[in-house]
Structure 1
Amino acid sequence: MRYYGSVYRPPSEARSLIVQVTYGCSHNTCAFCSMYKEKRFAVRPLEEVLEDFRMAREVYRHIEKVFLADGDALVRRASELYVILDTVRELFPECRQVTSYASPSSIRVRTEEELRTLREKGLTMVYMGLESGSDEVLTLMRKGHPAAEIIEMGQKVRQCGIALSVTAITGLGGPELLERHALDTAKAFNAMNPEYIGMLTLMVEPETPLYTWVREGKFQLLTQPQVLEETRLMVENLDSPGSVFRMNHASNYLVLRGTLNGDRDAMLREIDRAEHDLSRLRPESWRGL
């Protein structure tokens, strides 16, 4: 495949055919994020996109999953997204899942009719970063959207029949906003009730504003016990029936998995065990993005 710059994908898309539909991220100013810094956001020429799919059909005998990269494929014109999805369905009749990243901005520009048509043509799920349910944390981290807007756009996606996977980041508010971050993030998840909830743990990447803040002492990272404290507070307040919860990213100190709300108590017991024995946590040197 022909890729421009670094290409990122959710962990669950490891076995997917990845085709760049756009380049970079349309926002790309989050203080904690180092992704897509080497390229400006742009919409890739449609014919190039379609050529990549035709090339893939010649090379791969069986494609079950397709991920539309880069950071914000949904900002393309709806008519062009329809052509892309029609092409996927025509070339890969065996394909059972087409997904992409989405932002509150790209969801907002799509009408409900457009979203429903995208679902009918094969867009099965989008991944959206909540990061935090706290407006204080979102403002600090330059997310560009208040929590209420992110929640509204997540609800809009689900109402139009597209599955939703939402991620947040433990530790993003530092010690001062630990409680607010945990409680408001749980509240936001509950309001959206997404099919999937994914939790990462904050890692500081070079060449980001957050990296500078940490070095200058303007932002304090959570200790491992504080990460567990924040995680416990959030999990205790989750009420999102049916949501598949995953905290098994390489950045996480503690692995948690389950389906809400039934597995919530079991996950809390795992946090209990980790709080009493920190050796159960992933060593710092093993963490990664």
Structure 2
Amino acid sequence: MGETIPIAVPRKGRPLESVLDRIARRLNVTDLADEIASTLRHEKALTKGSVEPDEENIYHRLAEYSTTDDPTKPEYTVLRDDRAGKPRRIVFDSVTIPLEGVDTDIQLVGREEPFRALRTHEFAMGFDSADLVLEEVVELRSEPLDRIADVNARINPTDTDVRVVTGLGDTVYHTLMATPEVAPGTEPLDRAFLESYEGPLCIEPRYERLVQAVLGTQTLDGVEFRYPEDGREEEAAIAETGLGVYLTVTGSTARDHGLLLGEQLFPSETVLLENESELSEPVATVRSLLDGDDLETQLTVDG
């Protein structure tokens, strides 16, 4: 093994699976990626109670999964889940992947918030949700933000050296939705409607800054944010409020609550990030292996 480049990745869920899929396709490590993904899906099912464990003791299962004397085998760790009761859950920790044809290896390192680990210069590269970039560092302006190509331009260089490189194509959308009573009849349910709308808008609290950036502060004049009560389904809360913004894939759950789907305001994807002040030739080599025009992404950043 040569120089090892650590890359911060999510510990679980759809973002990590998107990273594993990208790593598998670009670095030809499909078996490794499948092993990690299937292990974590099984552990998620155990945590949710949808399957029964063969081994009740979570630490015994952890010992079976992890091979600490071989860094090229995946390791896992135990965290408290954020569901009611705070159940313990096995999540991804790390694995080292030798790269073919170069004197460099990469080490995927699990982090709860990879973007913040890049901001503190722990890593030169990482993967995280594009949403977190909007929630934390993009400047709020009166005009809306609707392209990922504009995100980097809205990052104040005094705030962070982290920039978006590209998206991974696991696209879902922050979508405007409303009840028929609030929706504008025959007119589109879109940003233009919001410009004349005054009243409550239901969003998840963690998306407040994102929604402000995406819609623009001028559009939100006269709009009052409302938040779902703890434990309440987001679509149900939006149906009660009359208007809201939430992530959708098919929109079926929103329709089940009698909601009409409007404009897809902004794409949400897992993105490849880099800390520009930490770049080196080996890091650039790894970035070129992970980037590429084969990505079917909504988040391509203009050169």
> TM-score, with normalisation over the residues of structure 1?
0.32
Higher relative contact order (CA closer than 8 Å, sequence separation 6+): 2
Structure with the higher helix share, 1 or 2? 1
- Specify the structure having the higher radius of gyration (Cα): 2
